[in-house]
Structure 1
Amino acid sequence: MKAHHRFALALAGALLLTNLPAHAASLAERYDALRAEQPKLQLRDAARTLNVSEANLLAVGIGKTVTRLQEGENVPREIMRRALDLGTVMALTRNDNGVLERTGVATRLKPQEEIVGLDADKEKEREARLRNIAGGYLGGEIDLRFTFKNWKYAFAVVQPGKDGVLTRSLQFFDTHGNAAHKIYVKSEAGVPVFDKLVAEFRNPVQGAELKVAPASARAAEKPDSAVDIKEFQLAWNELTDVHQFNRLLSEFGVSREQAMRLAPASAVQRVAPLAVRQLLEESARQKLDIMAFLGNESTIQIFSGKVNKVQAAGGWFNVLDPEFNLHLRDQAFNSGYVIKRAGVTSVEFFDQNGELVVSFFGVRERNKPQPQSWVDMTAALPKPGNAVRQASR
């Protein structure tokens, strides 16, 4: 049979399966059909198309390319602690409209360092931070912040990559089946460590059935009129550290983007959603050291350093550097803000659902003011309604 005839038959079969009712074809069959139609479709987008969670779709491969790992309150933390032995890895954290990928080696904390810098007057915060430390990952090349209480499912995945070489990864998901974090082994020395870890944490039950909870409805914002705006603005101006901001939101019961509306005069300046392109272009052109924060309800990943290659492609705006990739579906951005808190300037971008996608800071030395070049660059970002310069790279 000629090659083009075989392709036509395969495509016809794929379309037939896709148009069948959900009960007439297994999830595996529907996924195979979808991949035949769209071979470059990412797992998360495929899951959305098939109306299942990403964890459910990955579990289709159990017994082939996927091994289900143990579950339990402390298991994810212990797996991540053991993952420190993998050496060079690529750490991937994402949300609906952004992906941050960083390749490097995670820093391991010394035992006595696990409590350094904790606020002794805030015992609950101290305990929460201790629960979310996995023996490392604070600073350095792989810089992560965990909320382990939201982690639920863990899998080990071994499958051919784009170049045909086997890829090995640990993939974690929350109670709703959304990706919490993923780690890819990037060195030969890490392979036996990976294999040993998988053998030790292998779940005795290798079934694909997951008890995925439905996504919770987004809580409605408190009406602005119900907020003591004067006190809120006073508390904002009294911040001495940007890390106190989440506590401020909780204290006044406001959402993050709502806080942008209620902020003190001159503390927040709205910018065009696509200003993220100019921010990254100018950071690359001026060789500025920046910090990018991107995460979800389970993990936040932080990149610190310079960016070089930026490029728009396939509906995403990207940083494509050897050890750092950032992918932003900026067409889904709805708003952006330059924010001044506790003497620090940052830029945040929100999607159409009011969810924070990504935030940026200028890198500064301890006990020194932030670079003026960063402040000037953020002040020049286009405002809503102004044209945004197209990416030149």
Structure 2
Amino acid sequence: MNDLTPARLRELKRDATLRPYDLATQLGLPEAALAEADLGHGAVRIDATLGRLIPAVAALGEVMALTRNRSCVIEKLGTYNDFHDGEHAAMTLDAEIDMRMFPRHWVHAYAVETEGKDGIRRSVQVFDAAGDAIHKVHLRDGSDLAAWAALRRDLALPDQETPSQFGPRAAPEGARTAPDRADTLRAEWVRMTDTHQFNTLVRRLKMNRLGAYRVAGAPMVRQLAVEAVPQLLERVQAEAQQIMLFVGNAGCIEIHSGPIRSLKPVGPWLNVLDERFNLHLRADHIAEVWLVDKPTKRGPAISVEAFDAEGSLIFQCFGMREDKGGDPAAWAGLVATLPGTGAA
């Protein structure tokens, strides 16, 4: 692949019918290398520090926020508001752009301008140390172009020429189970008062999310058939359920809160094509699905969670809380009827 110079990559991108993620996979390159090929040709290498980047993105006004993993893409229209920075985790708390961000994974960032069929397309693209996409921001017709010019100018890094060294991609963790600690897991599970206590609990027991689900058993979890996922989305749409859908990767989780209005399956893809919310889910990547019930002070937090064959989380779907406009009883009734695998 030594012939893949920046000039050659620009050529391939110009002629490609594939999305950058798929083109990079086909070429055996990190996706960030495709963005970096445009340095000096519309792309500017910028500071990925959240405390600088997110306020600059907020100034752009309405944009499209995109977060993905290998199997699922979420896209939301809105504005980055109510940003809370943090050393280990940060967040934006807006009704539309609702995100949790983990700064150590925000390593390479670019402000990109490319000539498209409909004029210049502008985006901020953020990648991890391996060059895998963490989060992207696509400007809209109404976005503030003066703020965009300021972002490109003020966040530009001094070195715009030296090629980045992308590290190896971390291997998928897979399920980490500790069957000998199952009784402790169950005893402490029922004493939880907040869903955030779950991660601390399973880490202490030397497990992870999927590993804990595999050993917890009823009534904490029930394994569902993979066919439960399209049924879930269809029922949520048909019953106008208010949900919270979490999609992300190691560096960013993006959340949709509200209904699903337009569901369009195409081949292996399950697509939600709503006016301000799109979801693209590879149903053929789903290998395990779990119905999970965690106790909280406000009542049970019941979720449907899908994993791929490598044990990586694809998405989580919760019913919205009653104080936020949800119907917990209707949600509990819906998920209770989803088909199981027969596994305990």
Determine the structure 2 residue equivalent to 1:6. Answer: none
Preserved CA contact (<8 Å) 2:242 2:326: no
- Structure 2 residue 12 is the aligned partner of structure 1 residue 26: no
CA distance in 2, matches of 1:30, 1:332: 29
Determine the structure 1 residue equivalent to 2:198. Answer: 245
SS in 2 for 1:40: coil
Give the counterpart of 1:200 among 148, 154, 160: 154
- Structure 2 residue 335 is the aligned partner of structure 1 residue 378: yes
- Structure 2 residue 159 is the aligned partner of structure 1 residue 180: no
Preserved CA contact (<8 Å) 1:93 1:100: yes
Determine the structure 2 residue equivalent to 1:147. Answer: 102
CA distance in 1, matches of 2:108, 2:218: 45
SS in 2 for 1:260: helix
Question: RMSD over aligned Cα, in angstroms?
Answer: 2.3
- TM superposition shift of 1:140: 1.7
Task: Quickly say closer, same or farther: Cα 1:189–1:302, change in 2 above 3 A.
Answer: closer
Alignment deviations for residues 305-328 of structure 1 (CA, whole Å, 9 cap, x no partner): 011111112531110011000110
Give the counterpart of 2:165 among 188, 191, 211: 211
- TM superposition shift of 1:30: 5.7
Alignment deviations for residues 214-257 of structure 1 (CA, whole Å, 9 cap, x no partner): 112344655534x4111111011111111211111211111211
Determine the structure 2 residue equivalent to 1:66. Answer: 43
Task: Quickly say closer, same or farther: Cα 1:273–1:220, change in 2 above 3 A.
Answer: closer
- Structure 2 residue 66 is the aligned partner of structure 1 residue 92: yes
Letter in 2 for 1:383: G
Aligned residues: percent identity? Answer: 32
- Structure 2 residue 227 is the aligned partner of structure 1 residue 274: yes
Gaps (5+ residues) in structure 1? 1-21, 115-128, 386-393
Structure showing greater Rg: 1
- Structure 2 residue 86 is the aligned partner of structure 1 residue 130: yes
Q: How does 1:255-270 map to 2 (within 5 A)?
A: 255-270=208-223
Task: Quickly say closer, same or farther: Cα 1:194–1:267, change in 2 above 3 A.
Answer: same
Gaps (5+ residues) in structure 2? none
CA distance in 2, matches of 1:378, 1:301: 22
Taking structure 1 as the reference length, the TM-score comes to 0.80
SS in 1 for 2:130: coil
Task: Quickly say closer, same or farther: Cα 1:228–1:369, change in 2 above 3 A.
Answer: farther
- TM superposition shift of 1:348: 0.1
Structure 1 or 2: larger helix share? 1
Give the counterpart of 1:283 among 236, 244, 257: 236
